[in-house]
Amino acid sequence: MRFVLRSKIHKATVTEANINYLGSITIDEALIEKAGFWIGEKVLVVSNMSGSRLETYVIAGKRNSGIICMNGASALLIKKGEEIIVMGFELIDKSIKPINILVDKTNSFVKFL
């Protein structure tokens, strides 16, 4: 069994950072579905700007809003305006083809990678 990449949102822009929330990353519900994430799923978030890396869980934001919000302590590591990658992994005993999506600066779906 190995952990392999299953889903990725590439080049998303953080639209909000809410230190007062208890934790998680809020992601536009349409992007959650397009990338194949689950609500509550553990994800790795990497900043392409600061190099910060953290694990958190997914909560749904308003559909087609473009929201990507770092909540709680993660808002101290990754700030509004940063470009990030959000990745989900799966423990599996076979090779899989991950769902990788590219978004633009407004977090609108561009294409599958």
- What's residue 108's pLDDT? 97
CA of residue 86 relative to chain centroid, distance: 3
Residue type, 106: T
106 within a domain of the structure (yes/no): no
Q: Which of 7, 24, 47, 74 is catalytic?
A: 24
Instruction: Write out 36-101 in H/E/C secondary structure.
Output: CCCCCCEEEEEECCCCCEEEEEEEEECCCCCCEEEECCHHHHCCCCCEEEEEEEEEECCCCCCEEE
Residue 47 bears catalytic tag: no
64-109 residue pLDDT tens: 999 999 999 999 999 999 999 999 999 999 999 999 999 999 999 9
Choose, from 21, 52, 57, 65, the residue flagged as catalytic.
Answer: 57
Residue 90 lies in a domain: yes
Residue 34 lies in a domain: yes
Angle at 49 between CA 87 and CA 81, to 5 degrees: 90
> How far is residue 51's CA from residue 46's CA, in Å, rounded to a whole number?
7
pTM of this structure: 0.95
- Whole domain around residue 95: which residue ranges? 2-100
The answer to whether 72 and 22 are in contact (CB under 8 A) is yes
Is 57 a residue of the active site? yes
Question: The domain spanning residue 14 has which CATH number?
Answer: 2.40.40.20
Number of structural domains in the chain: 1
Taking only the tens place, the pLDDT of each residue in 16-54 is 999 998 879 999 999 999 999 999 999 999 999 999 999
Q: Is residue 109 part of a domain?
A: no
